[in-house]
Amino acid sequence: QTSQAEVVVFSVPSYACQRRSTLENHNAVLTDALALLAENAELSEEEGRGVAFRRAAAVLKALPRPVTSMTELRGLPCLGDHSLRVIKDILENGASSEAESTKQSERYKALKVLTGIFGVGAKTADRWIREGILGLQQLQESGQTLNRAQQAGLEHYDDLNQPVTKADADVISEIVERAVVSVLPGAQMTLIGGFRRGKQSGHDVDFLITHPEEGREVGLMPKVVSWLESQGFLLYQKTTRNSYLESKDGPGRPSSNMDRFERCFSIFKLTEKERRRTKHPETATENGLRTVSTPEPDPHSRVQISERSRCEDEELEVDQTKQAGHKLWRAVRVDLVVSPISQFAFALLGWTGSKVSLQRRTNISELEFN
Ligand code: ATP
Ligand code: MN
Ligand code: MN
């Protein structure tokens, strides 16, 4: 006979890849604080602490409802002493004093701004901060030498720190698909990353490209990149070759937890024109001319009129956008990955994420499909 009401505890599998991933987070107050501390640790090159906070946050994200007391957390995996202290602080006081003071610190604020520049990592930001550079203005005035990526990153800073919508990701998908089928008919392209997980916005758009016949994907990346470049879609690109076969470690001995697929980190120029083009995809044709699908009694004259009115509508839209002081395009970070079909499944899994579920991986992409 039990007189005490039993505390119902949550149950969460210890491996992140065994958990159902959900976009619904019932514990955002807790996970935001942990994510901030994780980010601060990562930016301070304390990877271990960063991973610990990320894992704790991932467990809380998997819970079916908000945590209300510490006893409910009994038996949950991945919650270390430090994370538990943070959670306790929030449950008791409404906020984590550690997370709050981190957020206010000059160092954290500077790290955020500087690593917000595409091409700038924790090491570079840390060096700049030690030289007294805390913001973009100071960076520009300092005369620091920036590499090509950082120059592009600084130039497109505002755009690249603006979330990418699913709608824009779809427009870019359409463009990448056009590139892929133009340079290698039969090649296939899949949206990966956060958007494949169902997110409605992201920091970039990720694509995986392959060909159903092994070997046909060789040389595909430079062709896709050239096509995109020739059409004026790329503001920046850097391609990394597939280092899988050449690596001296050989398969199974990864030198880092990065995979070795051929990839391209790029910055896309997404124009209003492309956005509108995919807004009416049913009327857009290959050469950009529009065909009118509504049957008309006198096709000769009426089609012309309706075509003209659509063009006029769009010109009006463009004018209004111009008048409102908006520029007619935005920069978007886009990642392209090419894999041979034999490794497609692993590339798809690895690049769909999320990161936490992959942190324990023994580099799955190194394995061969037989
Ligand atoms: P966001 O909306 O912020 O872009 P995301 O999940 O798409 O979220 P990305 O940084 O674009 O994040 O990464 C996409 C996926 O690819 C992640 O799951 C990550 O684990 C994986 N990934 C990223 N970079 C590499 C890399 N260099 N090697 C292997 N996998 C990577
Ligand atoms: Mn992404
Ligand atoms: Mn990415």
Residue-wise pLDDT for 237-267, tens only, equals: 999 987 655 555 555 445 555 677 999 999 9
What is the tens place of the pLDDT at every residue in 58-115?
A: 999 999 999 999 999 999 999 999 999 999 999 999 999 999 999 999 999 999 999 9
pLDDT above 90: residue 1: no
Tell me, in angstroms, the distance from the centre of ligand 1 to residue 243's CA.
Answer: 18
Distance 350 CA to ligand 1 centre (A): 8
Q: Which of 201, 155, 136 is nearest to 330 (CA)?
A: 155
List, as residue ranges, the binding site for Mg(2+): 204, 206, 335
Active-site option among 159, 206, 249, 313: 206
Beta carbon of 353 within 6 Å of any ligand 1 atom:
yes
User: From residue 72, how far is each of 6, 60, 247 by CA, in Å?
Assistant: 11, 11, 48
**Amino acid letter for position 101:** S
pLDDT by residue (tens digit) across 184-239? 999 999 999 999 999 999 999 999 999 999 999 999 999 999 999 999 999 999 99
Quote the pLDDT of residue 291. Answer: 39
Ligand 1 centroid distance, CA of 207 (Å)? 11
Distance 28 CA to ligand 3 centre (A): 23
Considering only CA atoms, which residue is closest to atom 16 of ligand 1?
351
Ligand 1 close to Cβ of residue 366 (< 6 A): no
Which pLDDT score, from 0 to 100, does residue 185 have?
95
pLDDT at 314: 62
Q: Is-catalytic flag, 335?
A: yes
Q: To which residue do tokens 């203005």 refer?
A: 137
Phi-psi region of 350 (alpha: psi -120 to 50; beta: other; left: phi over 0): alpha
Residue to mutate, 206, 265, 348, 358, ligand 1, most ligand atoms under 8 Å from C-beta: 206
298 is a catalytic site residue: no
Q: Write down the residue that tokens 């005490």 correspond to.
A: 4
Ligand 1 and 350: CB distance under 6 A: yes
Mean pLDDT of the chain: 84
Percent of the chain with pLDDT over 70: 77
Whether 262 lines ligand 1, by a CB cut-off of 6 Å, is no
In this predicted model, what pLDDT tens digit does every residue of 267-299 receive, in sequence order? Answer: 999 999 999 988 765 544 444 444 334 344 444
Banded pLDDT at 353 (limits 50, 70, 90): confident
pLDDT of res. 6: 60
Walk me through the domains of the chain, giving residue ranges and CATH numbers: 16-103 (1.10.150.110), 105-155 (1.10.150.20), 164-274+329-366 (3.30.460.10)
Of the ranges 5-14, 177-186, 213-222, which one carries the lowest mean pLDDT score?
5-14
Ligand 1 site, residue 198, Cβ cutoff 6 A: no
Annotated binding site: 204, 206, 335
Quote the pLDDT of residue 282. Answer: 52
Residue to mutate (ligand 1; options 173, 200, 355, 360; most atoms within 8 A of CB) = 355
Q: Any catalytic annotation for residue 319?
A: no
**Gap between the Cα atoms of 247 and 253, Å rounded:** 9
Contact (CB, 8 A) for 25 and 61: yes
Is residue 354 within 8 A of residue 197, CB to CB? The reply is yes
What number of residues does the chain have? 370
Number of the ligand closest to the Cα of 199: 1
Euclidean distance between CA atoms 263 and 61, whole angstroms: 30
Catalytic residue among 204, 259, 298, 319: 204
> Does residue 50 have its Cβ closer than 6 Å to ligand 1?
no
Q: From the CB of 16, is ligand 1 less than 6 Å away?
A: no
Helix H, strand E, coil C: the string for 105-127 is CHHHHHHHHHHCCCCCCHHHHHH
Q: What separation in Å is there between the alpha carbon of 214 and the centre of ligand 3? A: 25
